[in-house]
Amino acid sequence: MYSSPPHQMHDLELLHQHMRATRLAVLISHGEHGLLATHLPVLVDVEQGEYGTVHAHLARANPQWRELAQGSEVLIVFPGADAYVSPGYYSSKATQPKVVPTWNYTAVHAYGVAQVIHEPAPLLDIVTRLSERHEHHQPTPWRVADAPLDYLDGMLRAIVGVRVPITRLQGARKLSQNRSAADIAGVHDALTASTDPMDNQLAALMRPR
């Protein structure tokens, strides 16, 4: 992933924080069928390995898992907030008209060799942990144990697990760091005042100097 030096994110804790906050990641692989990508919820265990380990599952009908089993490197994209930045947000535009639109965003790319899981116990663990993560805020959280056992067994046979020990991480945190303090404040204020929730989310990451 290309990003200029001011926008590169190297802090491991910040990278992990971004990854764990991402609800839906994109798993990308390349094999005999060319590039394949699947959007899927993931778990990030930061204590497993030097950079952490990603856990997820795919439908058995999805041909991507067969590509993963070949042992080639995969890329997992963790997108974050993004926002269009108009030149009109910059206070310096009045005296420095040589400005163009840009885009602020955050993202993390994780790389590693995927391991495919077929055994019921680790598959059940992945499904259970994913459900607990996304159900905990519900008034009455659904639990895997609520499903009939024979139905659950059938569902587990219909998926395969994926484990990716991360071998390298890249992060981008483009928040107008290359602009003046006044311009950063202008972008922050404009995005804060926007009616777009993602603009507001991106503004919350910015810290005007």
Cβ atoms 144, 128 nearer than 8 A: yes
**Which pair of tokens denotes residue 1?**
């992933």
Radius of gyration of the chain from its Cα atoms, rounded to whole angstroms? 20
Average pLDDT of the chain to the nearest whole number: 94
In the predicted structure, residue 209 carries a pLDDT above the cut 60: no
**Which pair of tokens denotes residue 54?**
């990603």
pTM of the model: 0.92
Position 76 confidence tier, pLDDT thresholds 50, 70, 90:
very high
Cβ atoms 106, 172 nearer than 8 A: yes
Q: Can you tell me the mean pLDDT for 156-181?
A: 96
| pLDDT value of residue 151 | 93
- Mutual orientation of helices 149-157 and 120-135 as an angle, nearest 10°? 110
| pLDDT value of residue 66 | 95
Closest CA to 173 of 88, 98, 103, 101: 103
Cβ atoms 116, 162 nearer than 8 A: yes
In the predicted structure, residue 208 carries a pLDDT above the cut 60: no
Cβ atoms 78, 19 nearer than 8 A: yes
Paired with 180 in beta bridges are none
**pLDDT tens string 98-147:** 889 999 999 999 999 999 999 999 999 999 999 999 999 999 999 999 99
**pLDDT tens string 188-204:** 999 999 999 999 999 99
Q: CATH topology for 5-80+104-176? A: Pnp Oxidase; Chain A (2.30.110)
Domain map of the chain by residue range? 5-80+104-176
| pLDDT value of residue 69 | 94
Closest CA to 86 of 74, 104, 112, 65: 104
